[in-house]
Amino acid sequence: MEILPSLSETIISDSIAKGWENGKIEKDLSGKERFVILTR
């Protein structure tokens, strides 16, 4: 039931992120970690 917008980077929750390989973990300005999907 995931709907991924057609953007160059898509931010998803950590629970979903573990299933993705083409992504990276970044820290935002507040120091929180987020998982960014790199789409083509």
Q: Is the pLDDT of residue 29 over 60?
A: yes
> Tokens 């970044």 appear where?
26
d(CA 28, CA 21): 20
Q: What pLDDT digit, counting tens, does each position of 6-23 carry?
A: 555 566 665 555 556 666
Rounded to two decimals, the pTM is 0.27
Query: Side-chain half-sphere of 19: how many Cα atoms within 13 Å?
Result: 5
Residue 23's CB is within 10 A of a number of other CB atoms, namely 18
